[in-house]
Amino acid sequence: MKNKEFFKSIVELTSDIIWEVDENWCYTYISGKVKEYMGYTADELIGKMPLSLMTDDETEKIKNKVRIISSRRGNLADIEIKVFNKKKDIRYLMINGMPILDSEKKFRGYRGVVRDVTDKKLAESAYKESENHLSTLMNNLPGMAYRGSFTNGFKMEFVSEGAYALSGYTPSVFVEKGISSKSIIYPDDIKMVKTTVRNALNDKKQYDVIFRIITADSKIKWIMDKGFGIYKDGTLIGIEGFSFDITETREAVEYGIKNERRFKNLFESNPQGITIADRDGFIIQANRRWKQMFGYTDADISKLHMSSLRLQEYRNSDISLFKSLFNRDNAFYRIERSFEKNDGSVLWYDLTAALLDDPDEQDLYVIGLYVDITERKKIEEELKRLHGDLENIVIERTEEINRLTLKVINSQEEERQRIARDLHDGVGQSILAAKYAFNSFMNGDCKDNKLLEKGKLLIDMASQELRGVYTGIYPHMLGELGLKDTIDWFIRNFLEASGMEVINKNTLVSDVPYNLSINIYRIMQELFNNIVRHAEADTVTVLLCHEGNSVVIEISDNGKGFDIEKAGKTCTGAGLINVRKRVEYLKGHLEMESIPGRTWTKIEIPVEQR
């Protein structure tokens, strides 16, 4: 009895649950410790099967396992089961037990202990989950995590899945076959990498190195490797680190450096002057061309304000334009301005200014592009002056044309009056005298033949005078006789008839086109008229000949002379103006000299007119 009580006290004091089941696996005994772990009293579980406390999936798994063990009458060793306590919370139990046999070796059930391993199980699950999470994190990182040991040489102990994406080699190649990151380093970089890592490890500092590797498919990548040593009692026993691909970053940096050099070269070698100014208007940078334009040095730029370049009349307006960029009123502006150089001289420049935009609007600057337009401005001023001169010339020519028009009108009127006088004083008087003679003859006895002859003579005279009048108006004989004979006739019946001595050197040897003949006749007619009317000369020399492909007219007299320029500006000089216009029309050349006692005119006209 005492042994029984002693055994019971020991059972109650142990931290494990003591249990017994019969051959049907129903509880026949369970210690009171079950209340603490499961929430059930011993009485609530006596007669029930342990399987009734398990989840369905757990029941199937344990039932098969226990059936096999019990059929062999084997021991239950560290069988882990998952059950629900009275509050329906999951508990994890570790079962150990042995079969119960009676004196006749007949199987009567199992006796054993149950230990609550819930806390341990949850800790293991948390650790495993954490380890899985860490493994997943490591494997999903865009790079390769690694750990190596120096215990027996150097050997990789762990390499993350990122090794394949980084190098083309699987983690197993690094760990099992012994390939290391150093063995795939670009040959030219090996010495630098070893030195950098060794120095950092000797100083017990983190190493940080950038180098190239050759991947499994023979590509070259840029790698950044960061790591640190693992020490035990001050001795280096391993390393841990992380490698990641910076090829794109490296290329971007190199591209940025290259672009920066390009921009700098573009900035400095640009044929336009370029400045960069801050929001206060101070020039913080200028290229070589701009400094040459304005005569400033690098030392001058740091204290140069944009307003100091402007003439006083432009300063306020230009500062307003400059501020309009920062106020977002203008995206850019372009102006032509005269600027003052460092030496005080003033030149013209075409300026385009624009804001160097910054999305954050922290540091805003204005870029200015300057083009020297001083020469263009000079040309524009000269063109403006010439345009004004041309307008004055047009006005003068218009006035001259108006004067010429008036002269032509007056000349036409004078010619009409002359024709009327010639008809009245010559032809008209002769016809009137003939009429009187014929009337006297008719009114007499018609036997006075002298009156008849006189009338006929007067009619002949009128006919000759009329021929002279219409010949002056339109020379029909040009078509009949040609230019040479017509000029000879005109000299005899006009110049010589006026009482002048004429030295005639008319030597034309070939016919001249009819249209040209009419113009030459009109030119010589005008010159002969001027001599008869105004020269008061008694001797005239006339030359008309061929020289090469031109007809040459040369006429001189010994008259009183006249002022050629003055004559061209008066109404009485219309004849001379007509001569000039005809010569210009015929693409000819006119020379004229006049002094008291001599007036000389020479005209050259090409025979072939275009």
- Percentage, residues of the chain above pLDDT 90: 11
* Average pLDDT over every residue of 202-221: 90
pLDDT at 600: 95
Picking from 411, 397, 382, the residue whose alpha carbon sits closest to that of residue 575 is 411
The confidence band for 541, taking pLDDT boundaries of 50, 70 and 90, is: very high
Compute the distance between CA of residue 590 and CA of residue 583 in angstroms, rounded to an integer.
Answer: 7
pLDDT at 553: 95
> How do strand 76-84 and strand 539-547 relate by DSSP bridges?
unpaired
User: Would you say 50 and 146 are in contact if contact means Cβ atoms under 8 Å apart?
Assistant: no
More confidently predicted of 609 and 351: 351
- Residue 132 sits at the vertex; the CA angle it makes with 129 and 136, to the nearest 5 degrees, is 140
User: Helix or strand or coil: residue 301?
Assistant: helix
Model confidence at 540: pLDDT above 90? yes
Altogether, the residues listed in the chain come to a count of 610
Any idea which of 389-393, 456-460, 467-471, 479-483 has the lowest mean pLDDT?
Answer: 467-471
More confidently predicted of 347 and 447: 347
Compute the distance between CA of residue 21 and CA of residue 6 in angstroms, rounded to an integer.
Answer: 22
More confidently predicted of 4 and 64: 64
Compute the distance between CA of residue 547 and CA of residue 487 in angstroms, rounded to an integer.
Answer: 18
User: Helix or strand or coil: residue 98?
Assistant: strand
More confidently predicted of 426 and 242: 242
Model confidence at 436: pLDDT above 70? no
pLDDT at 578: 83
E strand or H helix that includes residue 242: strand 235-245
The confidence band for 412, taking pLDDT boundaries of 50, 70 and 90, is: low
pLDDT at 395: 86
More confidently predicted of 266 and 530: 530
Q: Token pair for residue 379?
A: 């040309």
* Average pLDDT over every residue of 148-161: 84
pLDDT at 497: 79
User: Helix or strand or coil: residue 602?
Assistant: strand
DSSP state of 233: T
pLDDT at 125: 73
How many CA atoms within 13 Å lie on the side-chain side of 158? 13
Buried/exposed 161-182: b ≥16 CB within 10 Å, e otherwise: bbbeebbbbebebbbeeebebe
Summarize pLDDT for 18-46 with one digit per residue, the tens. 889 888 889 888 888 888 888 888 888 89
Model confidence at 532: pLDDT above 70? yes
Spell out the SS3 assignment of 447-459. Answer: CCHHHHHHHHHHH
* Amino acid type, 119: D
More confidently predicted of 599 and 396: 599
Mean of pLDDT over the chain: 81
pLDDT at 2: 47
Summarize pLDDT for 294-331 with one digit per residue, the tens. 989 888 887 788 888 888 888 888 888 888 888 888 88
pLDDT at 432: 63
Summarize pLDDT for 112-144 with one digit per residue, the tens. 888 888 888 877 776 666 555 555 555 556 788
Max Cα–Cα distance, the chain, nearest Å: 220
pLDDT at 156: 84
Compute the distance between CA of residue 106 and CA of residue 543 in angstroms, rounded to an integer.
Answer: 174
Compute the distance between CA of residue 452 and CA of residue 434 in angstroms, rounded to an integer.
Answer: 9
pLDDT at 480: 77
Which of 116-120, 201-205, 485-489, 567-571 is predicted most confidently?
Answer: 201-205
pLDDT at 126: 66
Compute the distance between CA of residue 223 and CA of residue 242 in angstroms, rounded to an integer.
Answer: 10
Q: Token pair for residue 535?
A: 């020269």
Q: How many CB atoms lie within 10 A of CB 429?
A: 15
* Amino acid type, 458: L
pLDDT at 571: 46
User: Would you say 590 and 580 are in contact if contact means Cβ atoms under 8 Å apart?
Assistant: yes
The confidence band for 428, taking pLDDT boundaries of 50, 70 and 90, is: low
Model confidence at 209: pLDDT above 80? yes
Model confidence at 501: pLDDT above 90? yes
- Residue 552 sits at the vertex; the CA angle it makes with 546 and 558, to the nearest 5 degrees, is 130
Q: Looking at the DSSP assignment, which residues form a beta bridge with residue 20?
A: 29, 111
User: Would you say 560 and 526 are in contact if contact means Cβ atoms under 8 Å apart?
Assistant: no
User: Would you say 370 and 354 are in contact if contact means Cβ atoms under 8 Å apart?
Assistant: no
More confidently predicted of 260 and 218: 218
Model confidence at 445: pLDDT above 70? no
* Average pLDDT over every residue of 410-438: 62
More confidently predicted of 254 and 482: 482
User: Would you say 369 and 352 are in contact if contact means Cβ atoms under 8 Å apart?
Assistant: yes
